[in-house]
Structure 1
Amino acid sequence: MERIITDKINSLVEEYKYEVTLVTTDQMEKKNFFSLHNNIDVIHLDLDFNSTFNLPLLKKRLEIKKRSILYKKKLEEIIETKQIDICISTGGKELEFLNFLKGNCKKVFESHFSKDYRRQFLVSRSPGLKSEIIGRIRSQQLINQTKKLDKVIVLTQHDLEDWSTSHNNVVQIYNFCSFSSDKIPDYKIKRAIAIGRLDAQKGFDMLIDSWMINKDKLAEWHLDIYGQGEWEDMLKQKIIANKLEQNITLKGVTDNVKTELQNSSLFLFSSRYEGFGLAIIEAMTVGLPVISFDCPQGPSEMVNMHNGFLIELGDLKGFSNAIVKVTSDYELRKKLGETSKINSNKFSKPEIMKSWDLVFKDIINRKNEINH
C-alpha cells in the first residue's frame, strides 16, 4: 500500500500540480522505503499508536483515546493553516473521527481493502466464532464511519457493487503499475516468482503445499518468494519439512520488483483475501502468465483463461495442476504472458491518474458551488 500511495501522490504533485501534504502518525524516525517528491509537505506527528498494541486492554483503550483526541486536534490545525480542500484517509485511526473534523474540507476514504476486510483479517489470523462475531461488528463500524463521507473510493468493480448496497458515495478506481516494461521475458527460464508479506493473508503456506503436491513434476523449476513478515520462520520450516529447499527460496525484500519479475517466466498469487492485488498488475506489465486463487477481491478482474488460470480459493490440487500445466508448456507460457502484457494497458498509470484528477476536480467544484 505504501508504494502505490507514494506513486500516486508523487504523480499528483509532479504531473497534475496539486499541493499535497502527507501526515503520518507512526513514522517514528523510520526512513521512507519509497522516495517522495520534494514538493510534498510531510508532517510526522509521531503519535505512536503502534506502541499501544501490547498494553493491557483498559490502558490500551485509554491511550488510544488520548492519542486520537490529540490526532484530531493536530489534523484540524493542519487543515486550517494550510487551507486543505480534501482530507483523505486510507483507513488509519483518523477514520474514526473523519466525519467530525472541523474545517472547510471534503472528506474521502480511500479503501485499499474489501468492505469486509476487518472480519477477513481477524478470521485469517484466529479462525473461530469469536473472531467471526468481532469481525462482523468491526465491519459494521467501517460502514457506519464512511456512509456520510463525501466520497468512498474503492479498487474493484466487485467492491463498487458491494459498497453500493449500503453507500451512495462510492467511486471505483483501479490501482496502477508504477513502471513500464519493454523487455520481453525469457519464457524458457524455469523460475516462478511470488511477492507479498509473509503472513496469513498472502497464503504462501498454501502455495508451498500446492508445489509439494506435484514436486516431482516441478523438479527442474525454482520458486522464489519475495517479502518479509511474521510467518517467515514457519514458512522456512514448512519448506524444510517438505524437503523443498532446492526448489523454493524465501528471498526477503527486494527494492527492484521489476527486475525480479523480468527474470521469471511465471507469477503465482496465493492470497486468501485482497483489496486488489497490485503484484498481479506488475507481473502482467512485465508479460508474465499468472496463476491465482479466486480470492475476494481483485484477481477475477485481472486473471482469466487468456492470461493465466484462476483457481477456486483453497483448491490446492487445482492450483498445483495449473502450475504443472504452465511450467510444462513453453508455448502456453508465451501465449499467456503476451496476453497479460496487452491486458495490463487497462491498468496503466496515465489512465488511472486521469480518473483521480477527475474525481478531485469534481469534489472541489462541488465544494466551490456550496461555498458560493
Structure 2
Amino acid sequence: MNNISKQSNIIYFISNKCSQTIGGVQTIIRLIEKAMPEQKFIENVLIYNEKDIKLSKLPNVEVATIEKKLADKVQYYKTIIMEKNENISKKSIVPGSKIIVFGAQKLLLLTKRQLRENEIIIFQSGKPDVTLASMGNTKIPIILKDRLKYIDKFLFFTKYDKEEIEKIIENSNIHCTYKSYIVPNPSKTSRNQICRYTNNVMYLGRFDILQKNIMEYIEVADIIYPEYKLNAYGYGISEILLRYSKVNVKGIIDDITEVAKENSVLLLLSNSEGFGNVLVEAFSVGMPVIVYNSYPAAKSIVAPGTGKLIPYGDIEGVKKAIKEILKDKNTFKKYSDAAFKASKKYVKEDIVDKYIKVIKDEI
C-alpha cells in the first residue's frame, strides 16, 4: 500500500489522449469529469495534438501534456525509468492525490515517489496482456514488475479479464494487494429498440487489417451474398480493399442509431479487442451480435440469446449464425429482445455511478 501522508482534492488521469478527443478511454474520462463538476481534474496525457481536439474543455479540467517533441518524450521516459530525478516540477503531482491510470503499463510514466505518495487506481483499458504490457506473453516485463505493488484499486471489465490479468500477475511471481472491482464499459447509445428485421448485417469501426481483421469481413460478404448483404461504417487505410469486394462501404456515422433500422446484425470479427464498446451500443438498439471469441470480455458480453459467439476464424460458423438469427421475423425478434434486455447492464449513467463509487471508496 502507498504511504499517503495527507489528502489532496485533485484527481489525476494518466492516459494516451485528453478528453477533448474522440475515443473509448477519452469518453470514460469525460463522463466522470462531467458527473463530478465540483471536482478538480488534471489530465496527464501521453499525446497532445491540437488537430485531434474535437470537444471543448470542461471548466473543472486542466490538461498537462508529457512533452510534444519525440526527443523530449524519450528523455522524460528515461528520467522516470532510471529514477534520476523524482521531483520533476513541470510534471509534479500533488501528494495525497488520486491517480487514475488507464492500463497498468502506464505506471512507467510515474516515479516511485509519486506511486508511494498517492492513491493509485488502475482502469483496465485493453485486453489483459496489453493492460499489463506482457503483449502475448505469460509474464510481465521486469521494468514494470516493481511498480505493480503500488496499485491500490484495480477496475476490470469482466470476471474473465480479472481471472486472466491475475493469472499473468501470479505467473510473474508478483504479490499485489489491491481492492478489485468489476465494471463494464458503458454504452454511449441511449436505449431504444429500433433495430428491424432485414437481410443486412453490418460492421462498425476502423478499417484495419491487424487488429480489426478487416479481411475477414471481405470473406464473409462473399459467402453470404446475395442472400445477405454486409454494410461497413467507418474509416481507415484498408478502405480500398473493402471497395473492391462485396462489402458495401457506407462512410462514417456518429452513432449506431443512425443505421439500426437498415441493419439487423452486428459483426465483430477482430483479432483482439479490449472490451468491444460497439457490442453494447448494438444491444442498446436491440441489435443481435456475432462475435469471434478472440478476447476475454466477449464471453461475458455475448450472453445466451443476444447473438452468437463464434470460434476465431470460423467463417462458415459466421454464415450459419447469420442464417439462424435471420431465419424469420419471429426468430430475429427473440434475439433482438434478448439483446435489448442485456443493454440494461450498460446504461451510461449507471456505469458512471459505479466509477465514482470506485474512486471514492476508502482503501
Query: Shared topology, TM-score over 0.5?
Result: yes
Distance 1:117 1:14, change over 3 A: closer
Q: 1 CA distance for matches of 2:305 and 2:249?
A: 29
Shift of 1:11: 3.2
Residues 143 and 33 of structure 1: CA distance in aligned 2, closer, same or farther (over 3 Å): farther
1:143: Cα distance to partner? Answer: 5.6
- Once the two structures are TM-superposed, the CA of residue 34 in structure 1 deviates from its matched residue by 4.9
Residue 87 (structure 1) aligned with residue 99 (structure 2): yes
Residues 99 and 121 of structure 2 are in contact (CA less than 8 Å); yes or no, is this contact kept in structure 1?
A: yes
Where do 5+ consecutive residues of structure 1 fail to align?
Answer: 53-59, 123-131, 367-372
Distance in 2 (CA, whole Å) between partners of 1:75 and 1:340 is: 50
Which of 1, 5, 13 pairs up with 2:33?
13
- Structure 2 match to 1:298: 297
1:318 CA drift (Å): 0.5
Q: How far has the Cα of 1:280 moved from its partner?
A: 0.2
Say if 2:57 is the partner of 1:44: no
Could you list the per-position Cα deviations for residues 86-115 of structure 1 after superposition, in whole angstroms to 9, with x for gaps in the alignment?
A: 112223874214361437321222221222
Deviation at 1:343, TM superposition (A): 0.8
Is 1:195 aligned to 2:190, yes or no? no
1:230-287 CA-partner distances (Å, limit 9, x unpaired): 4344x33xx52xx51xxx1234443334323454221111112221111100000111
Name the structure with the higher strand share. 2
Q: Secondary structure at the match of 1:41?
A: strand
Which amino acid is 2:155 matched to? I
What aligned pairs does 1:1-372 form with structure 2 within 5 A after superposition?
Answer: 2-17=22-37, 18-34=39-55, 36-49=57-70, 65=78, 77-80=91-94, 85-91=97-103, 94-98=106-110, 100-102=112-114, 104-117=117-130, 135=137, 145-165=147-167, 166=170, 167-169=176-178, 170-188=180-198, 190-199=199-208, 200-218=210-228, 221=229, 223-233=230-240, 235-236=241-242, 240=244, 243-244=245-246, 248-362=247-361, 365-366=362-363
**In the alignment, is the contact (CA less than 8 A) between 1:194 and 1:226 conserved in 2?**
yes
Amino acid at match of 1:116: D
Is contact 2:187–2:346 with CA below 8 Å preserved after alignment?
Answer: yes
- Provide the rounded CA distance (Å) in 2 between the counterparts of 1:66 and 1:281: 41
Query: Secondary structure of the residue that 1:276 maps to in structure 2?
Result: coil
Q: Amino acid of the residue matched to residue 226 of structure 1?
A: Y
Q: Does the Cα contact within 8 Å between 2:205 and 2:234 map onto a contact in 1?
A: yes
Could you say if the C-alpha distance between residues 41 and 255 of structure 1 is closer, same or farther in structure 2, counting changes exceeding 3 Å? same
Distance in 2, matches of 1:27 and 1:93, equals: 19
Task: Find the aligned partners of 1:11 and 1:290 in 2 and give their Cα distance.
Answer: 26
| Cα drift, residue 79 of structure 1 | 1.5
Tell me the distance in 1 between the aligned counterparts of 2:85 and 2:44.
Answer: 10
The 2-side partners of 1:262 and 1:143 are apart by: 49
Paired residue total? 331
Deviation at 1:41, TM superposition (A): 1.9
TM-score, normalised on structure 1? Answer: 0.76
Say whether the 8 Å CA contact 2:133–2:140 is kept in structure 1.
no
Question: Which stretch shifts more, 317-326 or 69-78?
Answer: 69-78
User: SS of the counterpart of 2:249?
Assistant: strand
CA contact (8 A) 1:227 1:252 kept: yes
SS of the counterpart of 2:40? coil
**Conserved in 2, the CA contact under 8 Å of 1:6 and 1:36?**
no
Contact 2:286 2:339 in 1 (8 A): yes
For structure 2, the residue ranges without an aligned partner over 5 or more in a row are 1-15, 17-21, 171-175
Rounded to whole Å, the distance in 1 between the matches of 2:226 and 2:134 is 34
1:308 to partner: Cα distance? 1.0
Q: What whole-Å deviation, never above 9, does each CA across 1:59-87 have from its counterpart, x for those lacking one?
A: x977853697899855874412xx66211
Compared CA separation, residues 99 and 78, structure 1 to 2 (3 A): closer
Distance 2:332 2:326 in 1: 7
Is this contact kept in 2: 1:118–1:138, CA < 8 A? no
Q: Do the aligned partners of 2:192 and 2:286 also contact (CA within 8 Å) in 1?
A: no
CA contact (8 A) 2:269 2:291 kept: yes
Give the corresponding residue for 1:127: none
Provide, for residues 34-59 of structure 1, a one-character-per-residue CA deviation record: whole Å limited to 9, x for no partner: 5553332223344345x89xxxxxxx
Contact kept in structure 2, 1:227 and 1:253, CA below 8 Å: yes
Structure 2-normalised TM-score?
A: 0.77
CA distance in 2, matches of 1:74, 1:251: 48
> Which secondary structure does the structure 2 equivalent of 1:164 belong to?
helix
Residues 120-151 of structure 1 deviation map (CA, whole Å, 9 limit, x = unaligned): 996xxxxxxxxx6xx55666765654343222
Distance in structure 2 (CA, Å) of the matches to 1:329 and 1:48: 57
Q: Is 298-307 or 8-17 further displaced after alignment?
A: 8-17
Cα distance 1:201–1:75, how it changes in 2: closer, same or farther (>3 A)? farther
